[in-house]
Chain A
Amino acid sequence: MSIEAKFHLRRSERFTLDVDVTVPHSGVTAIFGPSGSGKTTLLRALAGLEHCPGGYLRVNGETWQGNGRALPPHRRPLGFVFQDTCLFEHLSVRGNLAYGCKRAGRPADGAEFDRVTELLGVRPLLARRPAGLSGGEARRVAIARALLPGPRLLLMDEPLSGLDLESRREILPFLERLHRRLEIPVFYVSHQPREVMRLADHLVLMARGRIEACAPLDELRGYLERIDGEFI
């Protein structure tokens, strides 16, 4: 029960993603590192949004990429929460939530729909347009939209970045609740040590496109606390 990923992707003269990592197929794995360390690129490579020839990705025994073949993003059973939410502005919140359900052959009004919308507190927002949502509300809708099609892996790209303190306080309990209820593995990109300590089970430390360390959170907690101290 693990996720094995190996990618080598030269983006420019100054940046090459070069990772070879195996993480447990459970709980929340935080991908932590400074800006420009390749966290988002790694997440996008996992989703198939970055073209990585020669890459390798195996999720719980199932090969998503390998031997020169790669499943296109729309065939990978994953949910992706983008940093800037990327909600479809031409659809209502309900339309956004139904979009993935329809393509996954799931009903957009059943018990699962109620459970997820309840869990993330988006039920009162269903008739609204994305442009009328606050930052925190839009993030919760984006998370619900990624979860509703029933993915087998959830990828979250800094879901709290760019939010003010109040919105962060509003959304963190939802993420913690998700953490407790979700049965699928989650990759969570962040550069906030406190956020990581609060939410992650496992940690992947990145710098300059490479993986510096990969271990359970408890083993790296001291490192995070030191960084957090320096940060303050």
Chain B
Amino acid sequence: MNPELTALWITLKLAGITTLVLLVLGTPLAWWLAHSPARWKVLVEAVVALPLVLPPTVLGFYLLVALGPRGPLGELMALLGRPPLTFTFTGLVLGSLVYSLPFVVQPLTGAFTAVGRRPLEAAATLGASPLDRFFTVAVPLARPGFLTAAVLGFAHTVGEFGVVLMIGGSIPGETRVLSIAIYDNVEMLQYGKAHWMAGGLLLLSFIMLLAVYGLNRRFVLVRP
């Protein structure tokens, strides 16, 4: 496969896996953030929001340290008899999970907060167990939030650069994503190729955001 298409495939695979894992792990976390009365919740909220304000290189640096052979995760991998995760696709997925966490958790938390407790109480008085009412009432009512979370999580991972550069480098077929490929091409003064890829990313991001706004509007219109 040509290197640009390989980079595109790695990018989409990374964003897809990251989004799926974040939706699965982020949903209970967002639910807890929306409904827990715990005072130390603000601490968790701040930690979740950190990747929004930290320079990606800072985040990447700490991830590099943690994943490296002397970091806690690197040592864990050594205990399991496996090589460290730095400069691997799995390492990139772990980094992206941290990097895109707020983009998935925050829309979900907002959606669950907006749904509130009342519909769930109504479901309880109609005989629905906690899990039942979560899946049959909370999730469908929070659907626009899920859509926003999925698209923002995906798009933000597609646009990842600093973190990838720090922990993944630019290994074709393994960690060389589109944003890195664009950077490589510009460094080699191959502006034509960089244009194609940058334009493609721009279009992809625009279409995804258009889908979010369009579909969320449709949800609102369907349930006037």
How far is B119's CA from A146's CA once the two chains are assembled, in angstroms?
Answer: 13
Other than A74-B124, A99-B128, give 19 A-B pairs with Cβ distance below 8 A. Answer: A74-B126, A74-B128, A74-B129, A74-B130, A78-B125, A79-B125, A82-B122, A86-B119, A87-B122, A88-B122, A90-B140, A99-B123, A99-B136, A100-B127, A104-B127, A131-B224, A145-B126, A146-B126, A149-B127
B132 contacts A by Cβ under 8 Å? yes
User: Given A82-B118, A88-B119, A89-B141, does the pair A49, B224 have CB atoms closer than 8 Å?
Assistant: no
User: Given A103-B132, A129-B223, does the pair A84, B125 have CB atoms closer than 8 Å?
Assistant: no
Which residues of A have CB within 8 Å of B136? 99
Q: Mark A68-86, 1 if CB is under 8 A from B, else 0.
A: 0000111010111010101
**B18 vs chain A, min Cβ distance (A):** 28
How far is B221's CA from A89's CA once the two chains are assembled, in angstroms?
Answer: 12
A222 contacts B by Cβ under 8 Å? no
Which residues of B have CB within 8 Å of A93? none
Does B118 contact A86, Cβ atoms closer than 8 Å? Answer: yes
User: Given A88-B119, A90-B140, A103-B132, does the pair A73, B125 have CB atoms closer than 8 Å?
Assistant: yes
20 chain-A/chain-B pairs, Cβ below 8 angstroms: A47-B125, A49-B125, A73-B121, A74-B125, A74-B127, A74-B133, A76-B125, A80-B122, A82-B121, A82-B122, A88-B141, A89-B223, A90-B143, A99-B126, A100-B127, A103-B126, A103-B128, A129-B223, A131-B223, A131-B224
What residues of chain B have their CB less than 8 Å away from a CB belonging to chain A? 118-119, 121-130, 132-133, 136-137, 140-141, 143, 223-224
User: Given A82-B118, A84-B118, does the pair A90, B125 have CB atoms closer than 8 Å?
Assistant: no
Which residues of B have CB within 8 Å of A103? 126-128, 132
How far is B120's CA from A80's CA once the two chains are assembled, in angstroms?
Answer: 12
Segment 72-121 of A: residues with Cβ below 8 Å from B: 72-74, 76, 78-80, 82, 84, 86-90, 99-100, 103-104
A229 contacts B by Cβ under 8 Å? no
Which residues of B have CB within 8 Å of A80? 121-122, 125
Which residues of A have CB within 8 Å of B124? 49, 72-74
A132 contacts B by Cβ under 8 Å? yes
**B121 vs chain A, min Cβ distance (A):** 5
